[in-house]
Structures are given as structure tokens and as C-alpha cells.
Amino acid sequence: MRIPLSAPDIQEAEIAAVAAVLRTPHLSLGPKLEEFERNIARYIGAGNTIGVSSGTAGLHLCVRALGIGAGDEVIVPSFTFVAVANVLRYEHAVPVFVDIRPKTLNLDTSRILAAITPRTKAILVVHTFGCPADLAEILEIARRHHLHVIEDACEAIGAEYHGRRVGAHGDAGVFAFYPNKQITTGEGGAVVTNDPRLAARVKALRNQGRPDTEDWFQHSEIGYNYRISEMNCALGIGQLNRIEAILHRREEIARAYDEQLRDCGNLRLPLLTVAERRISWFVYVVRLADQFSEMQRDWIQKEMNRRGIGCGRYFAPIHLQPAYRHVVAPRDGLKVTEFAAARCLALPFFNLLEEAQINEVCGNLCELVAMAEKLAPAGKAATGG
């Protein structure tokens, strides 16, 4: 792709920091891990941070450490990355899919109560595309029904809800640092929590079920190799040092897209601001107007790719994935999820995206949307999209 969908932003100082680690005897579980964990905890405002090998690993450790197991139900959105449901299935728990709000694409809190049963153990809330979910309502529902709350903040580092950074509001929060994220460690993630006992268990599970207080070959329970290397942490430290500049730049790019696309017919643009929240821009996702079909969206995506411009379908609903069609069935309709997902298109979005590239993306997109409108009969509209 001439203009990729995403690209990491690595500076020379960060490359040097990684190289410096290779000249030490500490390549895992060393001082860079401790420094990275301290810096994440300080930035998020959490009491404890545990560095892990990926966001998926972090979510799995939270589910396991909170005692969520066979037959337990966890409320989740279907409009998100599949790992949210996968980590529940690892523990033989049941994802209960709840629909989303049309504007923010986050969990629709008005639908959560109807999804709660005696088997419900937790709500796994996703801050979709870096926009904070309705945490006050979710936390109140969880308190009244004695449910755990796990924040999937993998797309949302630096996002804020009522002046506090997301991730530290619930029982635990998880961040991811894959190369397409706001900051990267290459592969990696982090669990944050204000519960020291939960932190200790996550930390032990990360390292083959071995607590810090025990011998290297003494294992209190079955655990995992979810460690993150010192090299990953060195890169993460450098990236975190300039996170505010990165977030500012990504907001600038989002506003540049908004300015160019606001007059492009038949597009619904993402909200630039939400009251009492700070968006941490992970991706820039537009939606085609209601009369468009999924087929037309897919044609636009393929044509953009053919022209050397990366685009993505964010997200394909989990409950419609082949791996999940025969595992769980939504108890309530997911009309907004299905309607929005069929019309979403993620545009190239990364720190180093240039003005000329934004111009090219927008020019081609507007041209193709106009062409697609004539390509096939209009898609059937649905309520709530």
C-alpha cells in the first residue's frame, strides 16, 4: 500500500534504547519491565501495573484472576475485536452480547439490565476506537448487581472519563501496544488495577503461576507464559514519554479528516468530542449513509486498496463470525451492531500521516462513494443505525 492503514512511529532514541538492553544480561523480568510498569501506573493513575505479552493475554489474566469460569456469563459488545470473547471461551465462560449505541458505538447501557441473569459475573466494557464508554452507568449497574467490571482499554490509552484516565475505574483495565496502537512495544500489553491482591494474582499467573514469594520452580497454580521482554519495555518507555504529543497529533489528523469529509455526501463521520470525555484516537472510522449496503461498502474498500490506499472493516460482529455462530446466540437483537458494522470503513490513520496523503485518501473516498451509490440498488435501511 502506498498509504497503509496503520504504521508505527519509532524514533532513533527508542531504537537506541532497545539496542542498549541487548548489551545487558537482563532480557526478561528485569529493570526495564519494572520501570515500564511504574510509568504506566503513574500515567493511568492506577495503584498497580503488570506488563504482559499482549492485550489478549491481559484480558485473559483478568478473567482468570477474577474467578470467572465454566458457565459464568459476561456481558460484552459484539462490535469489537474477537479477543474479548475468546478470553471468556478460554475459561469456558459465556459471552452475552449486548447491542451498542449508534453514535459512540459503545455498549448501550439501557440494554445491560435485560442481559443480567443469576449466572452473570462481570461486564467487560470496551472503550471502542478510543472513545470512553458510559462508565458511571456501567459501574452503578455492576455495584447494584455485584458484578465485576473489566475495562478493555486496548484502544484507548490516554482517553479520559470525567477527568480520569480510563482503565482504572473498574476492577481491572487492560491496554495493548500492538504496532497499530497509539503507542507500541511491538507486541505487548498491560493490566492495571487498584486491588493489590488482584495484582498479585495476575502477576503470578503471568509467570507460570509463580508468586514472587516462592522459589523459581515452585508453582502455586497453573499459570501461563505471558511475560513481556525487556526490549519491548524499553521501546514502551520511550513511546510513553511522548504520548501526549502523539495523542495531540492523532487528534489533529482526525480533525483534518473531518474538515475534508464533512461536505462529502453520504458519509457519517465520527464524533470529534463527547461531553465529559477525552477521546484517544485509535482509528478514524467513517460510516456510509443508511441507504448503502454492505456490498457497496466492501466494493469501496477493495477499490481503495486497488488504488494503494489501506482501508479496513472495523469491526465484523463477533456473533456473526464462523467461530461463534454455533457457540452463543444473542438473547436480544443486535440491530445497531449489525447495521453499523456493515457500513463502517476505517481510513489510514497513524502518527506520521501527511497532509498530502490525507488529501489523497479523502479525494478517492468521496469519488468512490459517489460511484458506489450508483453501483447497486440501495441497501435496506434498519432502525437504530
Please tell me the distance from the alpha carbon of residue 381 to that of residue 339, in angstroms, as a whole number.
8
pLDDT in tens, 252-292: 999 999 999 999 989 999 999 999 999 999 999 999 999 99
pLDDT at 382 over 50: no
CB 180 within 8 A of CB 4: no
Residue 121 inside a domain? The answer is: yes
Q: Which DSSP letter does residue 383 get?
A: T
pLDDT at 214 over 90: no
* Angle (deg, nearest 10), helices 196-206 and 55-65: 120
Question: Is residue 235 located within the same domain as residue 101?
Answer: yes
Residue 7 inside a domain? The answer is: no
Residue 77 inside a domain? The answer is: yes
Mean pLDDT of the chain, nearest integer: 95
Question: Is residue 264 located within the same domain as residue 356?
Answer: yes
Q: What is the pTM of this model?
A: 0.95
Residue 331 inside a domain? The answer is: yes
Residue from 237, 249, 107, 123 nearest 177 by CA: 237
Catalytic residue among 181, 203, 335, 374: 181
Domain end residue (candidates: 191, 209, 241): 241
What pLDDT, on a 0 to 100 scale, did the predictor assign at position 376?
62
What pLDDT, on a 0 to 100 scale, did the predictor assign at position 381?
41
Residue 385 inside a domain? The answer is: no
Which conformational region is residue 182 in: left (phi greater than 0), alpha (psi within -120 to 50 degrees), or beta? alpha
Residue 320 maps to which CATH number? 3.90.1150.10
pLDDT band at 384 (very low <50, low <70, confident <90, very high): very low
Question: Is residue 312 located within the same domain as residue 186?
Answer: no
For the segment 44-72, the average pLDDT, to the nearest whole number, is 98
Residue 383 inside a domain? The answer is: no
Cα angle vertex 260, ends 10, 269, to 5°? 85
Residue 214 inside a domain? The answer is: yes
Question: Is residue 36 located within the same domain as residue 109?
Answer: yes
Residue 37 maps to which CATH number? 3.40.640.10
Domain end residue (candidates: 241, 259, 283): 241
Question: Is residue 221 located within the same domain as residue 249?
Answer: no
CA distances from 18 to 236, 312, 355 (A): 10, 31, 31
pLDDT in tens, 141-176: 999 999 999 999 999 999 999 999 999 999 999 999
What pLDDT, on a 0 to 100 scale, did the predictor assign at position 325?
85
pLDDT in tens, 28-41: 999 999 999 999 99
Active site residue 181: yes
What residue type is 342 in one-letter code?
A
Q: Is 207 helix (H, G, I), strand (E, B) or coil?
A: strand
How many structural domains does the chain have?
2
| Residue 304 burial (C-beta neighbours within 10 Å; 0-12, 13-18, 19+) | buried
Question: Is residue 51 located within the same domain as residue 153?
Answer: yes
Question: Is residue 97 located within the same domain as residue 132?
Answer: yes
Question: Is residue 157 located within the same domain as residue 272?
Answer: no
Question: Is residue 310 located within the same domain as residue 275?
Answer: yes
What pLDDT, on a 0 to 100 scale, did the predictor assign at position 375?
81
Query: Whole domain around residue 259: which residue ranges?
Result: 243-373
What pLDDT, on a 0 to 100 scale, did the predictor assign at position 379?
43
Query: Scanning the structure block, which residue is given the C-alpha cell 474538515?
Result: 259
CB 156 within 8 A of CB 163: no
Q: What cell numbers appear for 1 in the block?
A: 500500500
What pLDDT, on a 0 to 100 scale, did the predictor assign at position 385?
38
Question: Is residue 216 located within the same domain as residue 127?
Answer: yes
pLDDT at 329 over 80: no
Please tell me the distance from the alpha carbon of residue 36 to that of residue 227, in angstroms, as a whole number.
13
Residue 230 inside a domain? The answer is: yes
Q: Is 73 helix (H, G, I), strand (E, B) or coil?
A: strand
pLDDT at 380 over 60: no
Please tell me the distance from the alpha carbon of residue 361 to that of residue 373, in angstroms, as a whole number.
18
Question: Is residue 49 located within the same domain as residue 86?
Answer: yes
Domain end residue (candidates: 203, 222, 241): 241
Question: Is residue 122 located within the same domain as residue 269?
Answer: no
